[in-house]
Structure 1
Amino acid sequence: MSSQRTVRPRAIFLDIDGTYADHGLAPEAHVEAVRTARRNGHLVFVCTGRPLSMVPGHILAAGFDGVITGAGARVEMDGEVLKDSRFEPDVAARIVETLDVHNAAYILEAPEALHGRTGVDRRLREVLGPVFAGRPQHDGVLSTDVDPLEDILGPMQYSDDLRSVSFAKISCFDSPVPLTGLMHHFGPEVGLIPSSLSALGDRAGEIYMAGTHKAVGIQVVEQRLGLKREDIVAIGDSANDIEMLEYAGTGIAVEGGHPGVLAVADRVTPGPAGNGVALAFAELGLLT
């Protein structure tokens, strides 16, 4: 008598940049892996440091069971927002004032939009243009042209005074002084991790609400759905993925990722160019 092997349902949480996609470009194998895993009864979630306003529709078009954005600050499932955390207004104003005094180029990240000071787009083009130069822009799978710089600047709204803006995270791309030297101005409610664009060095980074990270967002989903921690899978490559890989029952790092991610991972998979998400899904038995 032959028996059919069964695999218990899993919940998989995928980072976008450098994991599921490369600067907005998702390989066909990753799109199909997500769809196949969901057909097989597994749950697949986006879990990204990007705010919702910066998650392209063509990425979500693969079909996901929920979206965690802002590195755990916001959680949405089935059209219901389960979590939406922002900096307290006094803390937000203090951060903005400090960055402005030091002439930093930054973006305030909110689910509704990205916010920047008037003219910051010109400075970002100068700083990021060389970083993105020569990277592919055509997505043959989705038949769309993706400009990584416009991917950032597209959702931007500009103002001369950002002190009253509500936001969950800040991406700083260019500071005349290392960001670590500004942390004492921000206060204990604020954390800092390196930018995923490592070429920008210590004058760039992501400023976030202390205690908020991707594992916090995963826990919201876990509690809502009654998931078992051992059935949670997380795949990521950057510094903001460390907590979620630590928390997951199975943590998978992308080859060449941040050393902290590699240190906590249970296994390693290739990046998007090597269809790493699809390979990891196959190895976990999610596609059969």
Structure 2
Amino acid sequence: MNLKRKIVFLDVDGTLMQENGQVPASAITAVREARKNGHLLFLCTGRSKAAIFKNITEIGFDGVIGGAGVYAEINGDILYKKSLTLEEVTFLVDYFQERDIHFMMESDDINYGSPGLKDFYIKAIESDSNVSDEFLTKDDHPLQQLMNITKFDETLYQANINKICFIGSENTSYQEIEKDIKERLNIVPSSFVKFGKASGEVSSLGVHKAVGIKFILEHLDLSQEDTIGIGDSINDLEMIEYCAVGIAMGNARTELKAIADEVTAPIDEDGIYKSFKKHHLI
């Protein structure tokens, strides 16, 4: 065991949680053992608070950075939050609807879905071969879980929206959307595989995971030199760059592996557990 306490920031989708919504037993063991050994473990995810489900929270963590840096929370206390303005929400709603792009808007407690998003979810669940797997029923499907916390019949011009996720479209490329909005908003490719390769996430300018990490460290009076970040997606770039040790999963995007300090095994080959052992957290 490492006698010096470390502060570990873990991404969820593709890092802690597999595509079928399951968390490897080895990852659960690693997190719990590391905390028993005195280390601090924080979720650092693109997910909204409402989308961090019980099978994640019951593992046990010391706090959460959610919305890919939209907010930071310890013991239910919000240390930092930067939502989209109503003007930004209005711009995005109009932009996506004009182009028939499905999208989901995330608030603290509920999501709001655009017209057609529910049908997209249903078709995606029905066509997913993993549903026949013994570990995944339709009720357990990640998209079904999102449907359960999404309102589809409310006005889309909502205040207090933290982030908007859009679904890949055949009519409009991710690159085109990025070009249109990157000057006024932060945009990154989606870390949620079920949304497709051309999907993305939009938040306020200046929002990323490292912002939340800095607030956590300042609040707890801890040092950046004791941090470890582990992720797999583009929205993990700032976290991997900022943490003293930035670790990319074996299944991570090539761009993330290129800037990481090291690459561990893929999620389905006990990547988290192996990295925790290597750094003497367990």
TM-score (normalised: structure 1): 0.89
Match of 1:224 in 2: 219
The answer as to whether partners of 2:131 and 2:141 remain within 8 angstroms in 1 is no
Residue pairs, 1:190-269, within 5 angstroms: 190-196=185-191, 197=193, 200-202=196-198, 204-269=199-264
Aligned to 1:68: 65
CA RMSD of aligned residues (A): 2.4
Runs of 5+ in structure 1 lacking a partner? none
Q: Which whole-Å CA distance do the structure 1 matches of 2:150 and 2:123 have between them? A: 17
Q: 1:126 and 1:145, CA in 2 relative to 1: closer, same or farther beyond 3 A?
A: closer
Structure 2: which amino acid aligns with 1:21? M
Q: Name the stretch that deviates more: 149-158 or 273-282.
A: 149-158
Alignment partners' CA distance in 1, 2:89 and 2:139: 35
Cα distance between partner residues in 1 of 2:142 and 2:277: 29
**Is contact 1:121–1:153 with CA below 8 Å preserved after alignment?**
yes
CA contact (8 A) 2:102 2:116 kept: no
Q: What is the total number of aligned residue pairs between the two structures? A: 279
TM-fit CA distance, 1:240: 0.4
Find the aligned partners of 1:15 and 1:136 in 2 and give their Cα distance: 27
In structure 2, the residue matched to 1:49 is 46
Match of 2:120 in 1: 123
Aligned 1:271-282 pairs, distance under 5 A: 271-282=266-277
Q: Counterparts of 1:13 and 1:137 in 2: how far apart (Å)?
A: 30
| CA gap 1:266/1:199 in 2 versus in 1, 3 angstroms | same
Q: Name which of 176, 179, 184 aligns with 1:181.
A: 176
User: Which structure shows the higher strand fraction?
Assistant: 1
The residue number in structure 1 matching 2:111 is 114
TM-score (norm 2): 0.91
CA contact (8 A) 1:117 1:161 kept: no
Distance 1:234 1:138 in 2: 32
Contact 2:250/2:267, CA 8 A, preserved across alignment? no
Alpha-carbon distance, 1:149 to partner? 2.0
Q: CA deviation at 1:185?
A: 5.0
Contact 2:15/2:231 (8 A) holds in 1: yes
Matched, 1:13 2:9: yes
Structure 2 gap ranges (5+):
none
User: Following TM superposition, where does structure 1 have runs of at least 4 consecutive aligned residues deviating by more than 6 angstroms?
Assistant: none
